[in-house]
Amino acid sequence: MNILESLKMATQTLISNKLRSGLTMLGIVIGNASVIGMIGVGEGTQTLATDQFKNLGPNTLFILPGSPKAQNIRSGGTPPTLVLSDARAIARQVPSVAGVAPVLQNSSVVSYQSVTTTSIIQGTTADFPSVRNFAVDRGRFVTAQDVRQDKQIAMVGTDIAQRLFGNNDPIGKQIRINNVSFEVVGLMESKGSSFGSNQDDAIFVPITTMSKRIIGRTSPFGLRLSLISVSAKNSESMDAAEFQITNLLRQRHKIVGEDDFTVRNQKDALTIVSTITGALTLLLGAIAGISLLVGGIGVMNIMLVSVTERTQEIGLRKAIGATQNDILTQFTIEAIILSVVGGIIGTLIGIGGIVLVRNFSPLKTAAISPSAIILAVSVSGGIGLFFGVVPARQAARLDPIEALRSV
């Protein structure tokens, strides 16, 4: 009997026992769907975390006032340790830095005509868009001249613009921030949220205006800053930039012991997050792989039961000339068909699950991984071959006389 006849006979046998065949495939279906779905969700989580970091700006370092220990114990009246002159010194003296954007921010009441709301106000300089990867949709951003002249101008994010102006063009409108009048000269492109912070709900003003007109505090140490954003020239120079900035600020602040500032390297944080999410993806894939293994054992169990039920059929076939190889081939093909068909159905269900996750959950980056599909279908087919050999060998070794006696 050739392979085509064995394939035809195996297919007919499976079709004639639809319920048993379906239940046998169920474990494989669940296993494949789990592998594809979980790996897709894991890779989507990893992509989302990476995009969140990139959204903060290319090759960005963040310098915060106070060391981590000092930030925990500092009283509210202690002055911040970063000032505008620190940012300007970094821009002038650190060769591995491409741009520096000092930021002074505070939450303030904003009003336009009868509409009143609250928003994060960020005082900054002209380098902010390039350092933090922001773009202006209409109008313009802060210029160096605006900073020198303490101009009362503002750039608004898309969400705050929608709340204040609805669908009207905000350019040229007068808004009030803490009862100080500002002219809107720019509308920022939508940036989205990053690590729970809505970047489209911010208003940007010149940093000097922020200090004098909105916060209204002066300091003998200079213009206080909430943070300094720094972009390195490329990803390879981020470590060098961190080292050079640390040395410069230690010299400027005359530090002998612990730093009074914190430098956060986006590259290091991204590496940590990528390692964690990669391990999560591997763990999810391993858990789903167990489902495939259980499905394979289910195939073997049902096929062993099938051998017992079909003892008479096997004996009759051997009596009329079927060889051990013929019986072995047919049972092996049956197991492979069950596993491959179950793998294909599970793949379709897994892909459908990822599509549902992308469309109806916040995880829009859930990915359909071709490698996961190839792996799942290949493994399910291999499982059919591996776990189908035992019942197939048992069927092939049945003695025809003993099998016919059981009639």
Residue 279 vs residue 155, higher pLDDT: 155
The CA distances from residue 78 to 66, 216, 250, 260, 353, in Å, are: 10, 17, 19, 12, 53
- Tell me which residue has tokens 């101008």: 153
Identify the band that residue 188 occupies on the pLDDT scale cut at 50, 70 and 90: very high
Identify the band that residue 393 occupies on the pLDDT scale cut at 50, 70 and 90: confident
**What pLDDT shows up at residue 69?**
60
Quote the tokens at residue 36: 């594809």
Least confident residue range of 72-81, 311-320, 334-343: 72-81
Residue 350 vs residue 66, higher pLDDT: 350
- Judged against a pLDDT cut of 90, whether residue 164 lies above it is answered with yes
**What pLDDT shows up at residue 378?**
80
Least confident residue range of 20-24, 387-391, 397-401: 397-401
Which residues contact residue 383 at a Cβ distance below 8 angstroms, ignoring those fewer than 6 apart? 28, 292, 293, 295, 296, 299, 339
**What pLDDT shows up at residue 339?**
80
Q: What is the pLDDT of residues 30-76, one digit of tens each?
A: 888 888 888 888 778 777 777 766 666 668 888 988 775 654 444 44
**What pLDDT shows up at residue 299?**
74
Cβ atoms of residues 336 and 388 within 8 Å: yes
pLDDT-above-90 percentage for the chain: 26
Q: How far apart are CA 343 and CA 364, in angstroms?
A: 25
What average pLDDT is seen over the chain? Answer: 81
Q: Mean per-residue pLDDT for 335-345? A: 83
Instruction: State the angle between helix axes of 3-16 and 18-55 in degrees (0 to 180), rounded to the nearest 10.
Output: 90
pTM of the predicted model over 0.75:
no
Residues 249-263, buried b or exposed e (16+ Cβ, 10 A)? beeeeeeeeebbbbb
Closest by CA position to 326, among listed 406, 407, 402, 395: 395
**What pLDDT shows up at residue 159?**
92
**What pLDDT shows up at residue 329?**
79
Q: Is 224 left (phi over 0), alpha (psi -120 to 50) or beta?
A: beta
**What pLDDT shows up at residue 42?**
79
**What pLDDT shows up at residue 76?**
44
Q: What is the pLDDT of residues 259-318, one digit of tens each?
A: 888 888 876 667 777 777 778 777 877 777 777 777 777 777 777 777 766 676 767 776
